[in-house]
């Protein structure tokens, strides 16, 4: 296999097992650019079948979101909205790629955006249209038509067959001065449990530098947040350029971070010891909404905005 970012063919393995299923899963780090990826990658046909039918069932155990997931998604959507508003991004046409159950699309529609989504899973997209009246199209990134002021991809890029080709499509789907908002799991994070990192659904694992590199032919990053997950705002370049690959020093830093990851770091530096108590508090919150209609759960969260 060759690296999807730099086309190099020399790797070192960072994992050999799917942490969720205990099945064999080889994940490797490219010696040239430091990009971490499944090795080998599944075919595009395999991916399309998996995400349209099996992914939501594998990892959420349902074809439609449960009330607790709606509550979590709603809270997360409002946190993302705050990040956007702090960057003076608070209106315009918005497309959420991989929109899931539609919580973010619904809430952004209530908060000043002309919002819509695109989602490959039939059950989730139908659910969003039925419960929230959202404009959700069944499809994938390549099915985007039209142009938008804001495009969001939350925990989507790591599932796509080629991040660089994804950025090319996104470049041509934004209006002039449009903004791209990407969120992915951050491979450098210390607060990610070793039991929740490498698994089949994630094809790629991003550092700050590899995410910037994947976008660099078409976009410039202008705001970065590393509060556990990696959030990044991008603006399109006036015209495409060449890819700006991570430096040798960056590659060595990623290798070092991968060697240091483990239970000791997670429990003490990543505050993993606090997670059980936080889970208990979360459980009490979610028990209160288990019988509530989906729209009421989100509307109640809306009322918490100052």
- Provide the 3-class DSSP secondary structure of residue 154: strand
Say yes or no to pLDDT of 51 above 90: no
Instruction: Give the CB-side neighbour count of residue 165, counting CA atoms within 13 A.
Output: 8
pLDDT at residue 57 in the model: 59
In a domain, 233, yes or no: yes
pLDDT at residue 58 in the model: 62
- Rounded CA gap, 277 and 217, in Å? 44
Give the gyration radius of the chain's Cα atoms: 19
Instruction: Give the CB-side neighbour count of residue 246, counting CA atoms within 13 A.
Output: 25
In a domain, 163, yes or no: yes
Q: What is the pLDDT of residues 155-200, one digit of tens each?
A: 999 999 999 999 999 999 999 999 999 999 999 999 988 878 898 8
In a domain, 4, yes or no: no
Mean pLDDT, residues 240-254: 97
Contact status, residue 92 vs residue 114, Cβ threshold 8 Å: yes
Long-range contacts of 237-244 (CB under 8 A, 24+ apart): 240/168, 240/171, 241/216, 241/217, 242/217, 243/5, 243/6, 243/164, 243/213, 243/216, 243/217, 244/212, 244/213, 244/216
Question: What letter would DSSP give residue 303?
Answer: T
pLDDT at residue 181 in the model: 98
Q: What is the pLDDT of residues 276-292, one digit of tens each?
A: 999 999 999 999 999 99
In terms of phi and psi (left: phi > 0; alpha: psi -120 to 50; beta: otherwise), the region of 177 is left
Residue (of 107, 51, 49) closest to 74 by Cα position: 107
- What does the block give as tokens for 122? 């039939």
In a domain, 6, yes or no: no
- Beta partners for 220? 235
Name the residue with higher pLDDT: 133 or 57. 133
Q: Which of 130-134, 171-175, 224-228 has the lowest mean pLDDT?
A: 224-228
In a domain, 267, yes or no: yes
- Rounded CA gap, 15 and 72, in Å? 29
Contact status, residue 277 vs residue 55, Cβ threshold 8 Å: no
Say yes or no to pLDDT of 227 above 90: no
Mean pLDDT, residues 231-239: 96
In a domain, 146, yes or no: yes
CA distances 244 to 115, 125, 152, 219, 247, Å, are 32, 36, 23, 11, 9
136 falls in which pLDDT band (50, 70, 90)?
A: very high
In a domain, 137, yes or no: yes
Say yes or no to pLDDT of 55 above 90: no
pLDDT at residue 46 in the model: 80
pLDDT at residue 294 in the model: 95
In a domain, 145, yes or no: yes
- Rounded CA gap, 107 and 102, in Å? 9
- What does the block give as tokens for 165? 């080709």
Domain of residue 143, CATH code: 3.40.50.150
- Domains contained in the chain, number: 1
Q: Which helix (H) or strand (E) holds 81?
A: helix 67-86
Say yes or no to pLDDT of 62 above 70: no
- What does the block give as tokens for 96? 């959420």
Say yes or no to pLDDT of 70 above 80: yes
pLDDT at residue 276 in the model: 92
Contact status, residue 169 vs residue 124, Cβ threshold 8 Å: no
Mean pLDDT, residues 91-107: 96
**Domain around 212:** 11-302
- Rounded CA gap, 229 and 133, in Å? 30
CB count in 10 Å sphere of residue 88: 8
Mean pLDDT, residues 125-151: 94
């Amino acid at each position: 296999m060759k690296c999807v970012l730099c086309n190099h063919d020399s790797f070192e393995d960072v994992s050999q097992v799917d942490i969720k299923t205990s099945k064999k899963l080889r994940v490797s780090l490219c010696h040239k650019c430091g990009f971490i990826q499944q090795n080998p990658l599944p075919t595009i046909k395999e991916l399309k079948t998996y995400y349209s039918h099996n992914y939501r069932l594998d990892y959420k155990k349902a074809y439609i979101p449960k009330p607790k997931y709606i509550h979590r998604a709603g809270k997360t959507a409002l946190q993302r909205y705050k990040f956007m508003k702090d960057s003076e991004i608070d209106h315009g046409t918005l497309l959420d790629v991989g929109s899931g159950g539609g919580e973010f699309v619904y809430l952004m529609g209530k908060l000043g955006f002309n919002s819509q989504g695109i989602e490959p899973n039939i059950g989730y997209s139908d659910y969003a249209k039925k419960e929230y009246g959202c404009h959700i199209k069944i499809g994938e990134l390549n099915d985007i038509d039209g142009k938008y002021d804001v495009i969001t991809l939350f925990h989507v890029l790591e599932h796509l067959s080629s991040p660089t080709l994804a950025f090319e499509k996104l470049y041509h789907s934004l209006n002039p001065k449009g903004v791209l908002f990407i969120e992915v799991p951050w491979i450098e994070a210390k607060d990610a449990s070793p039991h929740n990192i490498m698994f089949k659904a994630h094809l790629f694992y991003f550092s700050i530098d590899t995410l910037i590199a994947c976008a660099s032919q078409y976009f410039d990053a202008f705001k970065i947040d590393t509060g556990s997950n990696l959030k990044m705002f991008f603006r399109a370049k006036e015209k495409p350029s060449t890819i700006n690959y991570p430096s040798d020093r960056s590659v060595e830093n990623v290798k070092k971070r991968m060697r240091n990851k483990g239970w000791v770091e997670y429990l003490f530096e990543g505050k993993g010891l606090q997670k059980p108590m936080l889970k208990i508090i979360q459980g009490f919150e979610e028990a209160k909404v288990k019988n509530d209609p989906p729209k009421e759960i989100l509307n109640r969260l809306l009322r918490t905005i100052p």
